[in-house]
Structure 1
């Protein structure tokens, strides 16, 4: 995924696009101080005429000054406690009247919010067929590393201008951290599984993939909290999905991939999933106090590395908010320990 980021500043009927090679690493910290600092920071990055696609972009933010709206996401935040702390802190550091939203559909949602064709930022959907190439034989001669299935593309047929990718297969986790949680209900029994594939890929694999989970080993406990989850109830043909990252419009196409199924979008509400998992897997409870403390440390480290940020009044306000929140978390934790 990398660490690249886009920033969009919208004012009135116009907007400006900026790019950072490493901004995805710390976008939440650069947005934390509020709209004035976030706008100045974004305009200090490299102006761009063209967008990355969603595979390349680890994080992005739209600051709409006219509508007083912040829309953002990051693929670099997987810890639910840290993410919750960042969202809570930003609700205090951004002024009243601003709408703060997570772009659950990622870069497509941000591009669409400024009137751009979302297809222009969609991840690569296929292999373009070079000009002058018309048949499978010509294609494989021009691109010898790619073999075409003759059942799909018989010899001598005319190829389309793009050969579409199928969705990547979903496989059991081999230690990816954090994983995606999949729970499957079949004949009243709930089994939990883990995969390194994104939740959007689970959806894109469609209902035909459901039988594959029968052969997966169930997972009854895991030491790391997942950052995405999909619940599939084969008995009622209902499903739900949540994410701390993005779904990239996968739910828009779920009806065609899961005919007859009803899907719920739980946004970041992972407890909706766990309530339906019926205790099939034991996971560690996210620690809000630890999330606040980590956010305070990360913000202070980030601030020290940026001479411009150290002098900004909005940054100093953010430091005060985080310091008081971390102190309150420490005090609550100490009180709970004393009462135990």
Structure 2
């Protein structure tokens, strides 16, 4: 059990690596109060050796805070939707004034590269392995209301068609190679998404061009290193710029822009739920109850489950955050 996170703190020309067994769940919240609060939180976690990184399987979120260059680089798999992510980035722009704030689209690889660590150190054995035969099964259709699904467009000389696909991982689509253009479901055809989905893929079979964007992260593929199924194809990564997908679809696909106002309430609720919560204590109580139910004197658990330390914000930091949330709600 766990929701593991890595943190990197750069200060005075040097860097240190930290680990939390439970930190990924509330990673967005732990950054909200600004660089001071984030720095205190990171240094309260368990410091580990420079080679003791998580990998792209076990890491559910990570953040790098460079106190020298005023740069924040992070990702989390716990953004609920477009509104959550956009609200988070908007508020961080207020509570980290003067800082460059970037989303780590390559996941841990971006953080490792920032401090000069070889990407292989954070790649799982699965990521390093030679790919097996690509999947050939058809893809399930999704509802265009579903913001967790993916949008796929295919341009094949007969126009552009758009599909709502029920699949969580963009890299799973990319792993099918060019054949994915023929695997999209007819009942997934749509020309309008009623929200902004988690990501999208555009396949142009005429010009042998494949493009993608995501609101999450795409280990390896943001730098094209993950496109082993597409030899000879031009690769374009649009980051989170879903408008590029609309333009490439040439009118065959459109996304409705959701109201960001509810994002303030969402962040406030997450702040209340995760801000100073102690997941170690919660887990200890759970194991104690399980020991009673199973009639054991105690349950042995990994000492790593204790690797998380909550930290309180300073009053002035929290006041600035509350003001930023109020401004977002009023927009």
Same-fold status (TM-score > 0.5):
yes
Shift of 1:196: 0.9
Q: More displaced, 1-10 or 304-313?
A: 304-313
> How many residues were matched structurally?
291
Structure 2 counterpart of 1:69: 71
Rounded to whole Å, the distance in 2 between the matches of 1:224 and 1:285 is: 6
1:205 is aligned, of 168, 176, 179, to 176
1:232 is aligned, of 203, 211, 215, to 203
Rounded to whole Å, the distance in 2 between the matches of 1:124 and 1:177 is: 30
Shift of 1:43: 1.1
Q: Secondary structure at the match of 1:285?
A: coil
Rounded to whole Å, the distance in 2 between the matches of 1:26 and 1:46 is: 16
Task: List alignment gaps of at least 5 residues for structure 1.
Answer: 127-161, 330-340
Structure 1 runs of 4+ aligned residues shifted over 6 Å read none
Task: List alignment gaps of at least 5 residues for structure 2.
Answer: 279-309
Distance 1:223-1:173 versus aligned 2 partners, 3 A rule:
farther
TM-score (norm 2): 0.77
1:272 is aligned, of 219, 226, 244, to 244
From the CA coordinates, give the structure whose radius of gyration is larger.
1
Shift of 1:64: 1.1
Rounded to whole Å, the distance in 1 between the matches of 2:244 and 2:214 is: 12
1:315 is aligned, of 311, 315, 318, to 318
1:186 is aligned, of 156, 160, 163, to 156
Distance 1:113-1:121 versus aligned 2 partners, 3 A rule:
same
Larger relative contact order (CA 8 Å, sep ≥ 6): 2
Shift of 1:205: 2.8
Rounded to whole Å, the distance in 1 between the matches of 2:246 and 2:156 is: 17
The answer as to whether partners of 2:170 and 2:199 remain within 8 angstroms in 1 is yes
Structure 2 counterpart of 1:296: 268
The answer as to whether partners of 1:173 and 1:179 remain within 8 angstroms in 2 is no
TM-score (norm 1): 0.76
Shift of 1:15: 1.6
The answer as to whether partners of 1:37 and 1:312 remain within 8 angstroms in 2 is no
TM alignment of 1:1-340, pairs within 5 A: 3-49=3-49, 50-96=52-98, 98-125=99-126, 164-166=130-132, 169=135, 172-173=139-140, 178-193=148-163, 194-213=165-184, 217-220=187-190, 225-250=196-221, 251-253=223-225, 257-281=229-253, 283-303=255-275, 305=277, 308-309=311-312, 311-326=314-329, 328-329=330-331
Q: More displaced, 86-95 or 310-319?
A: 310-319
The answer as to whether partners of 1:2 and 1:57 remain within 8 angstroms in 2 is no
Rounded to whole Å, the distance in 1 between the matches of 2:318 and 2:131 is: 45
Shift of 1:188: 2.8
The answer as to whether partners of 2:152 and 2:201 remain within 8 angstroms in 1 is yes
Deviations 1:292-339 (A, max 9, x none): 33223323444464885254421221122112321x23xxxxxxxxxx
